[in-house]
A and B are shown apart, each in its own frame.
Chain A
Amino acid sequence: MSPRSARLGDAAHAAPVFAALGDATRLALMNRLATGRPHSTAHLALGLPVTRQAVTKHLEVLSHAGLVRDFRRGRERLWQPEARRLDEARLYLRAISRRWDEALARLKTFVET
């Protein structure tokens, strides 16, 4: 594990995305969109304890944070997660991957000495 460095610049850049995700409804919407397939506003609103108008507002917040984008198909407004999400998932794995590299290097030293 590498020491956690306080990089204020990074944190400031990251803040808008964390703010966008820091809401239960928006998290639920992101989880519904996580399949990668486009969903209509109506479909995303199903079963959520908020109005469809509120869902639209939440989706717009996510869109401003670059987490989703929308397009029209006929009269429907469809939403899908940004492809960048995949890159972020890779970054996440890379961070964990690095920690395994470090741990296994320590294990190697430990069993070989």
Chain B
Amino acid sequence: MHHETTPERAPDPEHERPPEPAPPEHGAGPAAAVLGLQQSHGNAWVARAMQRALMRQPDAEQAARQAFVARGPMPAAAGVDFQSATGRGGFNVRYDPATSEEVITLKVGIDFRDGLSVDPATGVVTPNDPGFAAAAASVTARNPGGTPEAIAARVTEVQTDWAWAAQQRTDWQNDYEALIEGAWGGQHHFTADRWDDVYADVRIDVNVHAGLLAGDHCKATVFKDPPGNRQGPGAAVTSTPGNSTAATGSFRSSDITGTGDYLNYSLQFDNNSADLRTATSTSLEAPGDAGPAHLDKLIVDFQRGTPTGGAPIRITGHASTTGDGDQNLRLSRRRAEAVANYLRTHGDKIAGSRITVEAVGTDGAAADERWRRVDIQIGDGRPQVTMAHETGHMFGLRDEYASPAGGISPGAGTGGGIGTPVGHGALAAAMGGGVQTAVFENNDSIMSVGNVVRPQHYATFLEALNSVTTPERFHYGGAGHSPTAIPDLIGPDVVRPPDATPTGVA
């Protein structure tokens, strides 16, 4: 292995992004549980909790806590439909103190439609949405004319790639439910303002079904297209302020994985060259740019939105296997350094502290020209899963990505100026627990151009929670699930308030 990793050494007055809270670790047994809590919440927190447990008294606070828990599911076992103050989307919410769970239920009705249709007699291909008109022309261009062979080829392609089969509908529904419940559930938890051992973990329950029902929070059209297809109507969610069951959506079946990539870019170099001026972009979203022009776009797009913001940028230099190994390692480094230096010194500049440079020489490479390249990865580099992002709108969130003039996609989408607050920014700022306001910035966050569900993306869940637990309120408690309950070292409470019922009874 010939890896050389060099964090940038250039002084940077800006601060690094503070680390996000680590999920608490769960051990086996009381001692391990206490140790885990000390690691995740600190000694002071554990000391307070232990003191409270050891000195458990039927005082007023204890009685109020037990009365709160005894309220059972809030506001009721069926929950209540809710729409955020953002006026976006809608979902059902309930809080169950017995399980420390806030359950977010999202009902999505789907009108499954084929992306293209074909007349089996004439082979004429018809788009079922204007966004697929070019796709229809593409299919016909591959097999033009009126011969039986051409007609049969078009019929086969449309029926195979652009028409729903019954099993595909079922699979898509199941995949969508699993995607959202996994991507959005359990990422963070909330803690009661009044009692720091009363929590709310967030569980997402997505109910996707074929057909549109009156109580659906979102009524969506999903067009069938082939996996990886990049043309067609853009994914959209339209909301109705004041109505939590009136959002509509328009998606493609390929949105279940997503087909765009705004977190990975590449420049290909000439043979034995590290000259940016003759390099060319092979990036998915902007192929063919000259090297400097491409980097100019990245500098514009990936400015930090806050003094502590800005996604890390990893630059990896490669070389093809042609030529000497050591020389290729040096060449890959020169290529990577050329990119890093450009980002650091041109336009509004990318802060050097955000940049890591790596040279891997010919590791994993072949002799072909594709390996004469530099890869530029933003954040965790996981291309966005479109349906996970769009569902964020159903949860009431707004876009956080920016499309500035001079960037890759100037003016695209609903993004605003980098650094300006987003539509759920005020809600995020009010979450407590150190959560900052949310601003426009291109990074690996779910409502930007990535997949990471960060604390601010739970803003509408907290808003909903506080609406059903009133007058008690919660605040942001940390990443992951709530900590393991303090081990009961002294047995059950001696005195139970007369109006309390056992927890867990609905």
Query: Does A associate with B in a complex?
Result: no
Q: Interface on B for A, CB 8 Å cutoff?
A: none
Q: Interface on A for B, CB 8 Å cutoff?
A: none
